[in-house]
Amino acid sequence: LIGGYLVDNWNWQSIFTVNVPVGLAGMLATLIIQKEYKTEDNRSFDLSGFLSMALFLTFLLIALSEGNADWNVGGWTSQFSINCYTLSLIGLVIFLYTEFTVENPLIQLRLLKSLSFNGACLVSFIFSVGMYGSTLVGPMYMQSTLGYTAFQSGLIFLPLGIIQGITSPLAGKLSDKIKPMIPAVLGMILMALSMYWNSWLSLDTENLRIVSLSYIRGLAMGLIFTPLSTMAFSGISREKMAQASGIYNVIRQVGGSFGFAITGTVFIRRYIFHTAIVGQTVGLLAKRNAPVYQHLFNNLIFFTKLKSGRPGYSSAIRVYNATLQAQSMIGSYLAKEVYVQAINDCYLVIALMTALGVIPLIAIKIYQKLKESRKS
């Protein structure tokens, strides 16, 4: 909401200033509340692991964020993107080798041997892909199709955050009474359904439908966050909790970057596809004098006759102007329709990917039951 206000009244770069006072307040609260403690073991800092991880993540995120940039003509297969992939892969190989060979690794990758932690990280990655992808196409639809300002779009999606804030602690309490698997699965299903229902948007979609779907999405996000964290850290010892939290958050953030990249790519590809289809259709309408085209053309001819009193305003000019206006009006409408169809395709892809997140949760449940049956 604040970001939308800043975009409307200043520029999009100003939205990053919102994090400055929040970050300063967090630092101050940490200094006041958090107590410093020292561990008995004096471990050396894994500098090589830190640098290799920085190399891996930096160039991976650059490749994902700049793959669809206007200046990057070649897209994902451009020389720039390939160079980023190569450097990122080199960083990953060095990082993995370092973490498995040094005495005090930066991140205990052996934590991924835990099925519950591994599965929760995978689900978190998939969920982040869908969540961040939806935050990209949602405002695009509101602003480019319906003509909303950035601030108005923020108002529409404001209930999503409120409902999530209310639902998250309730889902945490529910996870204490029942297995966290249940609210997590329910949340992923609701998230996938909300994305699927969003794939039926049109130029005439009512605000009530958009807001209602954002309510469902906020409820789903609240049901997912806390139970998924509970699943991830339930089998982790206190000494390894900090490293497990780091791995979990990194995977979630990388998933968000993939979400932006995948959604942006799908939108561009589907927009080009629908534009080609609609272009052929418009050509056929004009050639065959389809009723919708001819009706609009005749109305414009009648309208221009009202101006026929002007000197030199001949019948040929009226026909020419009416033809241009008819093509322009139909083209403008169809351009918006193509835009919406591309957004709907993005939501459908997001829905399918989110639905895949249920599979690891079910697999963990089946594995746990098999493990319990073997013990008994």
Which helix (H) or strand (E) segment holds residue 249: the answer is: helix 241-287
- The predicted model gives 21-38 an average pLDDT of 81
165 and 259 assigned to the same domain: yes
pLDDT tops 60 at residue 308 = no
When pLDDT is cut at 50, 70 and 90, the band that residue 258 belongs to is confident
The pLDDT of residue 21 is 86
13 and 78 assigned to the same domain: no
- The predicted model gives 322-338 an average pLDDT of 71
CB neighbourhood size of 114 (10 A): 18
The pLDDT of residue 18 is 77
The pLDDT of residue 325 is 64
The pLDDT of residue 289 is 52
53 and 164 assigned to the same domain: no
14 and 152 assigned to the same domain: no
pLDDT tops 70 at residue 328 = no
19 and 50 assigned to the same domain: no
Residue pLDDT, tens place only, 223-232: 998 889 888 8
The pLDDT of residue 89 is 95
- The predicted model gives 19-25 an average pLDDT of 86
The pLDDT of residue 260 is 87
Task: Give the three-state DSSP class for 72.
Answer: coil
CA distance 14 to 114: 42
204 and 88 assigned to the same domain: no
When pLDDT is cut at 50, 70 and 90, the band that residue 301 belongs to is low
The pLDDT of residue 126 is 93
- Rg, the chain, Cα only: 27
Percent of the chain at pLDDT exceeding 70: 82
The pLDDT of residue 322 is 58
What per-residue string of b and e applies to 290-306 under the rule 16 or more CB within 10 Å gives b? eeebeebbeebbeebee
pTM summary value = 0.80
The pLDDT of residue 298 is 63
88 and 210 assigned to the same domain: no
Question: CA nearest 124: which of 244, 265, 261?
Answer: 244
Looking at residue 203, which CATH number applies to its domain? 1.20.1250.20
Q: Domain boundary residue among 79, 106, 133?
A: 106
Across the chain, mean pLDDT equals 81
Q: Domain boundary residue among 54, 82, 106?
A: 106
Candidate from 7-21, 83-97, 126-140, 259-273 with smallest mean pLDDT: 7-21
250 and 338 assigned to the same domain: yes
pLDDT tops 60 at residue 124 = yes
CA distance 309 to 321: 16
Number of structural domains in the chain: 3
The pLDDT of residue 91 is 93
Residue pLDDT, tens place only, 272-286: 888 888 776 665 555
Higher pLDDT, 276 or 308: 276
Higher pLDDT, 345 or 333: 345
29 and 75 assigned to the same domain: no
Q: Domain boundary residue among 63, 85, 106?
A: 106
Higher pLDDT, 329 or 100: 100
Residue pLDDT, tens place only, 169-199: 888 888 888 888 889 999 999 999 999 999 9
- The predicted model gives 321-329 an average pLDDT of 62
- The predicted model gives 124-147 an average pLDDT of 89
CA distance 91 to 50: 10
Percent of the chain at pLDDT exceeding 90: 21
Question: CA nearest 29: which of 18, 38, 21, 37?
Answer: 21
283 and 153 assigned to the same domain: yes
Angle CA(110)–CA(364)–CA(197) in degrees, nearest 5?
120
**DSSP 8-class letter at 13:** G
Contact 84, 59 (CB under 8 A): yes
CA distance 157 to 16: 19
Enclosing domain of residue 179: 115-376
If phi > 0 it is left, if psi is from -120 to 50 it is alpha, else beta; for residue 289 that is: left
pLDDT tops 80 at residue 119 = yes
221 and 349 assigned to the same domain: yes
Candidate from 42-46, 156-160, 351-355 with smallest mean pLDDT: 42-46
- The predicted model gives 135-147 an average pLDDT of 86
